[in-house]
């Protein structure tokens, strides 16, 4: 069911979003060679719980065991933190996190280089972030979900990359995953019409190679089928009459 949030519900989601943004900023600052993804997960959980009433959204969601999803290199999403996954210079790390306050969630992700990376890798990250910005720019009351997907797809594919189709963005609120689904591809003026007060998570997943993906035997980690690098960026936004209001901005950042 698609829900339009009240002012109180949006205030709670805004509080959760600020925790999420700050968590991502902290984790990104600590993502360096020699650090394990389990170290980052413990840091994130402690930080989230240090905020009054905040709890990690992911931990226990559908049985997921951790606070963060930490996906390395060819891992698209849902990589499970582990003390055995130690970051190395040149890695690309996607971090996805959610927080809940007062029964309402916010969700965001970003992909960061671990130390210096080749220009081609930097370009993939820049393009995926730009695709997210384009999707957000397409949001306003009266627009349709297809407008968002078309904007994302155009930026990614015009740069020579591919967009994952098996995984999509989503509505979010008192449930972590709500209607509508928000694909990262599609045609303008198609799909669910956006209403002021709706809250959605827009999350491009863009591959350097082909768009096909597969799931590893752990039943969580999704990787590119051809082993190419992947990037993932996400924000939770509120639909307004004038556009989108981002709830998960990171501190000292407009992204």
pLDDT score recorded for residue 254: 46
Nearest-5° Cα angle at 232, 21 to 56? 40
β-partners of residue 246 are 237
Backbone angles phi and psi of 17, in degrees to 5: -65, -40
β-partners of residue 86 are 36
pLDDT in single tens digits along all 255 residues of the chain: 899 999 999 999 999 999 999 999 999 999 999 999 999 999 999 999 999 999 999 999 999 999 999 999 999 999 999 999 999 999 999 999 999 999 999 999 999 999 999 999 999 999 999 999 999 999 999 999 999 999 999 999 999 999 999 999 999 999 999 999 999 999 999 999 999 999 999 999 999 999 999 999 999 999 999 999 999 999 999 999 999 999 999 997 545
Specify whether the CB–CB gap between 108 and 134 falls below 8 A.
Answer: no
* CATH class belonging to 7-246: alpha beta
Instruction: Say what the pTM is.
Output: 0.97
pLDDT tens by residue, 238-254: 999 999 999 999 997 54
- Average pLDDT over the chain reads 97
What Cα–Cα distance (Å) separates residue 212 from each residue in 4, 82, 108, 191?
34, 25, 23, 23
Specify whether the CB–CB gap between 79 and 64 falls below 8 A.
Answer: no
pLDDT score recorded for residue 252: 77
Specify whether the CB–CB gap between 238 and 201 falls below 8 A.
Answer: no
pLDDT score recorded for residue 94: 98
Q: Which of 112, 96, 191, 97 is nearest to 151 (CA)?
A: 191
What Cα–Cα distance (Å) separates residue 253 from each residue in 25, 111, 245?
9, 15, 14
Both tokens of residue 204?
A: 């491009």
Q: What is the DSSP letter of 36?
A: B
Q: Could you give the CA distance from residue 158 to residue 54 in angstroms, rounded to a whole number?
A: 40
Q: What is the DSSP letter of 186?
A: -
Backbone angles phi and psi of 20, in degrees to 5: -60, -50
Specify whether the CB–CB gap between 151 and 134 falls below 8 A.
Answer: yes
Q: Positive or negative CA dihedral for 79, 84, 89, 90?
A: negative
The domain limits of the chain are 7-246
Q: Which of 117, 146, 161, 140 is nearest to 242 (CA)?
A: 140
| Strand ordering across the sheet containing 235-240 | 178-182, 169-171, 199-202, 235-240, 243-246
């Amino acid at each position: 069911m698609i829900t339009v949030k009240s002012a109180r519900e949006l205030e709670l989601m805004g509080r959760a979003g600020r925790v999420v943004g700050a968590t991502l900023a902290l984790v990104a600052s600590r993502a360096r060679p020699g650090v394990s993804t389990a170290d980052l997960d413990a840091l994130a959980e402690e930080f989230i719980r240090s905020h009054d009433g905040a709890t990690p959204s992911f931990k226990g969601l559908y049985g997921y065991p951790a606070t963060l999803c930490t996906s390395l290199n060819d891992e698209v999403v849902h990589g499970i933190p582990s003390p055995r996954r130690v970051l190395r210079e040149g890695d690309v790390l996607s971090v996805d996190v959610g927080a809940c306050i007062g029964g309402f969630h916010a969700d965001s992700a970003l992909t960061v280089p671990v130390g210096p990376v080749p220009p081609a890798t930097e370009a993939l990250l820049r393009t995926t972030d730009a695709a997210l910005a384009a999707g957000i720019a397409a949001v306003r009351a009266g627009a349709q979900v297809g407008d968002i997907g078309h904007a994302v797809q155009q930026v990614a594919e015009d740069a020579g990359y591919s967009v994952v189709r098996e995984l999509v963005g989503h509505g979010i609120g008192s449930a972590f995953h709500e209607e509508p689904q928000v694909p990262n591809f599609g045609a303008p003026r198609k799909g669910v019409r956006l209403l002021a007060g709706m809250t959605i998570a827009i999350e491009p997943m863009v591959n350097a190679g082909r768009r096909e993906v597969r799931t590893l035997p752990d039943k969580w980690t999704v990787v590119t089928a051809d082993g190419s690098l992947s990037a993932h960026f996400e924000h939770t936004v509120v639909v307004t009459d004038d556009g989108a209001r981002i709830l998960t901005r990171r501190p000292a950042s407009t992204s």
